[in-house]
Structure 1
Amino acid sequence: MRLLILGLGYSARHSLAGLADEATSIAVTTRSAAKAARLVAQGLDAIAYDGTAPSPALAAAIGTASHILVSAGPDRDGDPFLRHHAGDVARAVAGGGLAWIGYYSTVGVYGDTGGDWVDDLTPPNPASERTRWRVAAETAWSDLGAAGNVPVALLRLAGIYGPGRNAFVNLAAGTARRVIRPGQVFNRIHVDDIATVTAAAARARLGGPINVADDEPAPPQDPIAYAAGLMGVEPPPEVPFEAADMTPMAATFWGENKRVGNRRLHADLGVPLAHPTYREGLTALWQSGRWAGGDEDREEASPRFRRIAGP
């Protein structure tokens, strides 16, 4: 396996560990030149690429890759890699050396179902501008793969948690909230399970939509209360959804209510989730002491998880 990771963020970095033993070469990209230099010092072939101009180094890496994992979101101008390197991907597909593409997407592409179930084959119904960008990027990568019969796995991720990115972090920082909206549920996925699914899909060269979600959609307040119990602290007070002060992005997130089925993950890949619900995931993080994460976990976590500096 000659692995190229386009965008070495939180999920992709954890997935790299599961793919590294099978890779004869590894190249990664990052937006930051400073981070690229740090990764090179760690022994990785790292390319600084911010999507603003073509990169000869990236073109070369695409041309030699057998497996590509895409882990960077699109914007209004499209996918940041296809913006300048769609031709390089097309040539790699046509040349026969590229065997598999994995694309990290989101279950947000399904939109709102009023709490009903979606599965891997449910047609996307994006409700926001950002999820419409995602569907367009999914389509662009899928079309490139289809032109040369290269499978493209659309790995649609549920709410990601793991070291440095979990309810314990917000409880420790005093920023956790238990927002109550009757009937609201979300799926989640532990980053270690993302890594397991990614590696299995790459090995099997499986294409098409794959919902990377846990087995139990649950109300958003439940993981917070469960984490508080493990920490031995009082959970934060309940806040009615109507009284909660939310950013526009958070409001969009809460405006979608669905239960996400993960049939292909189990049936087509045969992957047993290490953390089938938030309870196993949070318990493992707490008992292992990994909940606070390391410097890289905190650097890559979303802003609401960057409020503590260590355990």
Structure 2
Amino acid sequence: MTPHASSHPTTGHHPDPGQHDDDGLAELLELEAEILAPLLEEVVDWVAQHVDGAPRTVVDLGAGTGSGSRLLARRFPSAQVVAIDRSAARLERLRATAGAQGLADRVRTVQADLDSAWPEVGAVDLGWAASSLHELAAPDRLLRELHAGMRPGGLLAVVEMDALPRFLPEDIGVGRPGLERRCHEVLAQARWNAFPGWGPHLEEAGFRLAGRRRFGVEARPVPPGTGRWAHRTLRRALPALADRLAADDLLVLEHLLADDSPGAVLHRDDLVLRAGRIVWAARRA
């Protein structure tokens, strides 16, 4: 979902490049969730096909601003959703948003660093980890503890971005073609959105793999708000690109990020939205 260390860099051991800009990150996450809502609903619907019965307790690991928690609460109306995050500010925002959407009695927040210990949240029927596991220093330990805390037959869904989102055409009319591709190559070298294939890790923790699937979207014209999402995404990546990207590419990128430039990403009519997710569903026997 975004060019930071992960789509929800909220539980992790590794520093979030924007950890001192909580409001900016929160806005970026909410923009992403709004624009990718159909894709994320498709993911949740697929996960729901693997759930046995109606879950009573759903846990969102690394809930961030709560877009996943709210989606899960709507998809499973009889469930209590427990949103776990280490950021008090993001949890406060999550409670406010859930309350505004009439979900205050369905969504409970727990502030916890999942690198320390699995919190006491009761028996879990469905776990949801969206771009949060790879942020942990010891994800295998957490998976074992989560497995132990799940009801028999419970399900865990692990969701990752299959690649950083892309917005720009190959040739943007200024500079060398392929700017966004080169930006993504630099970010990959910096280990942005790096994650393992989770299947073996889930099985080693005691889960039985129930399914794995990729979801994707490619849209033009783009949904409303995509320009703002692209602008915030590229701006958030700029510090990581500054010392690694070629000087001519940096000049073009700064041109794209200038609010008053006619070719700025905020004003372009040639954006193309390309984004995707990869999902593992694993069951506790």
Q: Same fold per TM (> 0.5)?
A: no
Whichever structure has more helix as a proportion of its residues is 1
TM-score range, shorter chain: 0.3 to 0.5
What is the TM-score of this pair, normalised by structure 1? 0.38
What is the TM-score of this pair, normalised by structure 2? 0.41
